Structure 1
């Protein structure tokens, strides 16, 4: 969730060093840093639910799951993002302590302030990650999961999951009822 931009150039090394001690998270795009804002109860709950069930699924498979605090580096574009959820199964990622370079799955939970960025620029940038097989967008307002999956031709196909359906994340051979992702979340449709 981006809230402000700092207008001076920062090298990737300076950025990574500053992030180690920063109390506020920043994303980095080609020398510019962008301050991250806090998240809503629904956002945090969805992330926690998904991480919990995914963690149990990938346990002892060689895959690692990260949420909100681990950066992904897109080296070709000189940028770093903090995905809401990221799964890497690539042993090369074990050598990087503060970021990962070879994710298989990235998930972003949508909010009003980040939806355009998550659907547009971030997705365009994430597509430069050769190991990325799925990019998932989860609504925090309505029960809907959009899974963009790279096919064998390298094109991205959309798989949509809604209320009462089972979510399938093929990149990690994972299935769960969509309701499990939204457990303890009060949706906008329930309030009205």
Structure 2
């Protein structure tokens, strides 16, 4: 989530070096950095559940699953974001220890303060990643998963999953009951 804007214009190299030593995370948008805020219990629980489900699914496959602390680079737009969960199966991503440029799946867990940005500008920016096949938005307050999937014509189609349904991420051949994504929440979403 973007919460605090700093006025200093940085090159991508300066930003990446600064993130290595920073005590807080920042997203980078065309030379400007934005501090990231903390997350709620529900946000962290859902993110952790998704990471574990996807990590177990991909064990030994060559695909890598990242949670919260790995940056996604949108090189064409000069952007770096911290997705909640990201999967890459592209060997080119092994070349960088601090960001990934070729994810096939990006997941963002929505909050009141990030929902508009995640649905709008961030999604628009992510569409510049040729490797991205699915962009997923997960609600914290109700069992609702929205999967935007790029079709064979390059257009984005919406697939919604709710209570009692099986969630499917075709980009990584993954399926699970939606209840597994919301497991162990302090207050159960309806």
Tell which deviates more after alignment, 178-187 or 141-150. Answer: 178-187
Residue 22 of structure 2 corresponds to 22
Kindly indicate whether the alpha-carbon contact (under 8 Å) linking 1:72 and 1:99 is maintained by their aligned counterparts in 2.
yes
How far apart, in 2, do the equivalents of 1:147 and 1:72 lie? Answer: 18
How far apart, in 1, do the equivalents of 2:168 and 2:187 lie? Answer: 21
Q: 5+ residue gaps in structure 2? A: none
Residue 141 of structure 1 corresponds to 141
How far apart, in 2, do the equivalents of 1:187 and 1:170 lie? Answer: 29
TM-score (norm 1): 0.97
Question: Could you list the runs of 4 or more consecutive aligned residues of structure 1 that deviate by over 2 angstroms after TM superposition?
Answer: 186-190
Q: Deviations over 1:51-96 (max 9, x none)?
A: 1011010111110000000001000000100000000000000000
Kindly indicate whether the alpha-carbon contact (under 8 Å) linking 1:140 and 1:187 is maintained by their aligned counterparts in 2.
no
How far apart, in 1, do the equivalents of 2:187 and 2:66 lie? Answer: 25
Kindly indicate whether the alpha-carbon contact (under 8 Å) linking 2:140 and 2:189 is maintained by their aligned counterparts in 1.
no
Q: Deviations over 1:98-149 (max 9, x none)?
A: 0000000000000000000000000000000000000000001110000000
Deviation, 1:49, is 0.4
Describe the SS at the equivalent of 2:10.
coil
Residue 154 of structure 1 corresponds to 154
Describe the SS at the equivalent of 1:103.
coil
The alignment's C-alpha RMSD in Å is 0.9
Does residue 1:46 correspond to 2:33, yes or no?
Answer: no
Does residue 1:182 correspond to 2:182, yes or no?
Answer: yes
Kindly indicate whether the alpha-carbon contact (under 8 Å) linking 2:108 and 2:136 is maintained by their aligned counterparts in 1.
yes
How far apart, in 2, do the equivalents of 1:189 and 1:41 lie? Answer: 13
Residue 34 of structure 1 corresponds to 34
Deviation, 1:8, is 1.8
Kindly indicate whether the alpha-carbon contact (under 8 Å) linking 1:25 and 1:35 is maintained by their aligned counterparts in 2.
yes
How far apart, in 1, do the equivalents of 2:113 and 2:187 lie? Answer: 17
Deviation, 1:188, is 6.7
Residue 102 of structure 2 corresponds to 102
Deviation, 1:186, is 3.7
How far apart, in 1, do the equivalents of 2:187 and 2:121 lie? Answer: 27
TM-score (norm 2): 0.98
Kindly tell me the number of residue pairs found equivalent between the two proteins: 190
Kindly indicate whether the alpha-carbon contact (under 8 Å) linking 2:167 and 2:175 is maintained by their aligned counterparts in 1.
yes
Distance 1:48 1:189, change over 3 A: closer
